[in-house]
Structure 1
Amino acid sequence: MIRIEEAYKLVTGAVEPMDTEIIDIKDSLYRVLAEDIVSDVDMPPFDKSAMDGYACRQEDLDQALSVIETIPAGKAPEKEVGKGDCSEIMTGAPLPKGADCVIMVEHTEKDTNGKVIFTGKGTKANIAYQAEDVSKGDILIPAGTYIEPQHIAILAACGYAKPKVAVKPRVGIISTGDEIVEPSEQPGISKIRNSNAYQLLGQVQKCGAVANYIGIAKDDEQLTFDIISEALENNDVVMLTGGISMGQFDFIPEVFQKLGVNVLFQTLAVQPGKPTLFGKLGKKRIFGLPGNPVSAFNTFELLVKPYLRISMGSTSGWSIIKLPMGAPYSRKKSGRDSFVPVKIEQGKVYPKDYHGSAHIQALTTADGFIMIPLGITQIEEGASIDVRQI
């Protein structure tokens, strides 16, 4: 049995990098960049007005100003602003030569001759200067970034209509056990619906990978061997839930041995999530997750998610923030690292009402997990603690 930090090192040290491909920008959401995004222009590309108003010289604000032209956004100025002049200008339009400020239209009025009178007591420049945000050649998004909507705006602004991204890993998902039935079925006595597989489908898709649901492997060693063999042929990663413990029908480790899987670990000093397996078969990677839904969710977040992200070139594995406890937490047993679902409210962490590894309802409003380290039974209110966000 190994600690989670050692398991993480084994998993991330066994990452098989994915190839890259060129895609359309419209399909880039939740993909991982395989190239730096470099600006090919200054941003702004020219000095431009930050307001609707009048471009003029600050030294002339005490006199009536003659309007010499109107400059809408998208049109280049045609005249230079001289003494006593101003140009009517719209937000985003290029600043005309000679002007050093833009007075807001709300701070002006016109006299009987149509000249502009500044009615304010002073003004900012109200100019967005060339390259004040970005200079040509700046790296705006590094390779390895998980693309969110805000990144897509930068791709478009920099002309990356066809960005290079990592190929999505294909993840085959198998549930195990005669007690499992599909969600569409009414479970009979001793049966339960297959919540794990569909939870894991969502977790895989959220990572930006391709989730392939293979089905339920019944408690038959040969049938299990066949379904895992098929999954390995068509996927980069195979993930199973259940069948990893020490029960009579938990024969997944024996199946892996027949397949030639090199098992790097089989149990974790983690609660929930002790019966967790990781192995390699050539370039394929195999995860055996616990059968209880909270355990499966937790071990996916701790190990499978970092593997998938890093295989696509991401530089981030665990997403951890440090926050103070909003309430104390205690436990009786401290023989393993314990992961407890929590809610974040007003910058503080509050443990959820949590009854154990089958209590899936506790996750529906959880923001993350805190880890209570091995040997620790009490965390006091106000103590700073690591939160793994989900």
Structure 2
Amino acid sequence: MITFNEALKTVKHATKKLEKEHIELSKCLNRVLAEDVVSTISIPPFNKSAMDGFACRQTDLAETLEILETIPAGTPPTKVIGKNQCSRIMTGAMVPEGADCVVMVEKSEIVDPNHVRFTDTKTKTNICIKGEDIQENDVVLKKGTRIKAQHISVLAEIGCAKPLVYQRVKVGVIATGSELVEPHETPGSTQIRNVNSWQLLAQLEKIGITANYYGIVADSKETTKEVIAKCIEENDMLLITGGVSVGEYDHIPQILKELEFNIWFHTLSVKPGKHTVFATRQGKYVFAMPGNPVSSFVQFELLGKALVFRLMGHDYKPAIVRLPISCDYKRKRTDRLEFIPVRLNANNQVIPVSYNGSAHINAFTQADGIMAIPREVDEYTEGEFVHVRQI
């Protein structure tokens, strides 16, 4: 049995990044940059007006100024600003030579069609200076960055239309268990509906991965082995739920050994999800989790995500907040690191959600995150700070 931190280090150590490819911006969301992105231009590329107004010299603000021209955005100025002169200018337009400020239109009075005076002789420059956001040759995004919407805007602005990224990981998902039926089916008296696969498919979709679903596999070692072999052939990574404990029908560890996988770990000092398997074979990866839905949900959040992103070149760091707990909390056993569902209230306090064990997924519908309770800690008092991983 290994600790969570040891398991996380193992996942990162045993995982190799996928190949690289250039892709269009429209397909970049949630992909990971495979190289630093260097800007070939300065942003803004010229001194531009921050607002509609009049471009002039600060020394002339108290005078009546001659209006030389109107400068729309996208059209270069044709006149140089001299003494007691100005040009009408639009937001985003290039500031003409000779001007060192822009007076907003709200602080102006038109004297006649060719002259203007200002109602306030104090003003900010209201000019966006060339390169004040990005300088030419700046590294604007680092290798390993997971691309979000705000990153796409920067890529577009500097003209990086086809960034180099790591390939998207191909993930297969299967559920094991003769007791399972699909959500649209009516379960028999000893059956239950398959929750885990649909939960995992949604968790993957949330991070930009559309997985291949291979359905439910009955508790037959031969059939399970055939399906796993097929999934491994067609994907980079396989997620399995069920069949990983020590029961008579828990065949997954033995099957993986027969398929010549190296099993890095099989049991974790973590609750929920003690029986979790990570195995590799020549660029193929298997992450197998318990059949209880809370266990599989939590273990994918803890380790599955790290594995997916590692393959795509990203060092995943979950959002973890440190906040006070709203009440006293006690637990009976302290031999494992435990994660429980919690809510966050309007006062930024942590409220434990009533929770009856790893088969009871309904508690997680009320949760904003999972609170980590370290080994050997048996209680928290109201107001004590705890760590919550947002989900």
- In structure 2, runs of 5+ residues without a counterpart are none
2:294 aligned partner? 294
State yes or no: 1:304 paired with 2:318: no
CA distance in 2, matches of 1:112, 1:146: 55
Q: Which amino acid aligns with 2:64?
A: A
State yes or no: 1:277 paired with 2:312: no
CA distance in 2, matches of 1:112, 1:77: 22
Q: Which 4+ stretches in 1 moved above 4 angstroms? A: none
Cα shift at 1:121: 5.1
Cα shift at 1:52: 0.3
Cα deviation 1:177-198 (Å, max 9, x = unaligned): 0111011101121211111001
CA distance in 2, matches of 1:30, 1:185: 34
1:60 aligned partner? 60
2:40 aligned partner? 40
2:363 aligned partner? 362
- In structure 1, runs of 5+ residues without a counterpart are none
Cα deviation 1:305-335 (Å, max 9, x = unaligned): 1011111111334443333334443212212
Q: Which amino acid aligns with 1:75?
A: T
2:234 aligned partner? 234
CA distance in 2, matches of 1:272, 1:205: 23
Cα deviation 1:228-255 (Å, max 9, x = unaligned): 1111111111111011112222222222
Contact 2:327/2:382 (8 A) holds in 1: yes
Question: Greater shift after overlay, 90-99 or 29-38?
Answer: 29-38
CA distance in 2, matches of 1:129, 1:104: 17
Cα deviation 1:340-376 (Å, max 9, x = unaligned): 1222344433322322212212223423212101111
Residue 108 and residue 365 in structure 1: after superposition, are their counterparts in 2 closer, same or farther (change >3 A)? farther
CA distance in 1, matches of 2:260, 2:301: 26
CA distance in 2, matches of 1:307, 1:37: 24
2:146 aligned partner? 146
Residue 121 and residue 67 in structure 1: after superposition, are their counterparts in 2 closer, same or farther (change >3 A)? closer
Q: Which amino acid aligns with 1:205?
A: E
CA distance in 2, matches of 1:342, 1:223: 39
Cα deviation 1:1-54 (Å, max 9, x = unaligned): 221111111111111210011111111111111121211111111111101000
Cα shift at 1:221: 1.1
1:218 aligned partner? 218
Cα shift at 1:96: 0.9
The alignment's TM-score, normalised by the length of structure 1, stands at 0.96
Cα shift at 1:90: 0.3
Equivalences for 1:64-83 in 2 at 5 Å?
A: 64-83=64-83
CA distance in 2, matches of 1:318, 1:54: 48
Q: Which amino acid aligns with 1:383?
A: E
Cα deviation 1:83-138 (Å, max 9, x = unaligned): 11110000011111111111110111122575212112521111111111110111
Secondary structure of residue in 2 paired with 1:94: coil
1:375 aligned partner? 376
The RMSD of aligned alpha carbons is 1.6
Question: Greater shift after overlay, 202-211 or 123-132?
Answer: 202-211
2:157 aligned partner? 157
1:333 aligned partner? 333
Q: Which amino acid aligns with 1:355?
A: N
CA distance in 1, matches of 2:38, 2:383: 43
Q: Which amino acid aligns with 2:285?
A: R
Secondary structure of residue in 2 paired with 1:151: helix
Residue 113 and residue 243 in structure 1: after superposition, are their counterparts in 2 closer, same or farther (change >3 A)? closer
Q: Which amino acid aligns with 1:71?
A: I
Cα deviation 1:164-187 (Å, max 9, x = unaligned): 111111111110101110111011
Contact 1:279/1:287 (8 A) holds in 2: yes
CA distance in 1, matches of 2:22, 2:39: 19
2:131 aligned partner? 131
CA distance in 2, matches of 1:126, 1:147: 32
CA distance in 1, matches of 2:351, 2:45: 47
Question: Greater shift after overlay, 221-230 or 326-335?
Answer: 326-335
CA distance in 2, matches of 1:83, 1:329: 74
CA distance in 2, matches of 1:121, 1:60: 9
Contact 1:266/1:275 (8 A) holds in 2: yes
Secondary structure of residue in 2 paired with 1:266: strand
Question: Greater shift after overlay, 244-253 or 195-204?
Answer: 244-253
Contact 1:23/1:162 (8 A) holds in 2: yes
Q: Which amino acid aligns with 2:104?
A: M
Q: Which amino acid aligns with 1:83?
A: K
1:15 aligned partner? 15
Residue 20 and residue 354 in structure 1: after superposition, are their counterparts in 2 closer, same or farther (change >3 A)? same
Contact 2:61/2:121 (8 A) holds in 1: no
CA distance in 2, matches of 1:374, 1:239: 28
CA distance in 1, matches of 2:282, 2:240: 18
2:353 aligned partner? 352
Contact 1:310/1:317 (8 A) holds in 2: no
Contact 1:54/1:105 (8 A) holds in 2: yes
Cα deviation 1:117-161 (Å, max 9, x = unaligned): 211252111111111111011111111111111111111111111
CA distance in 2, matches of 1:275, 1:334: 18
Cα shift at 1:264: 1.5
Secondary structure of residue in 2 paired with 1:205: helix
CA distance in 2, matches of 1:11, 1:65: 69
Number of residue-to-residue matches in the alignment:
390
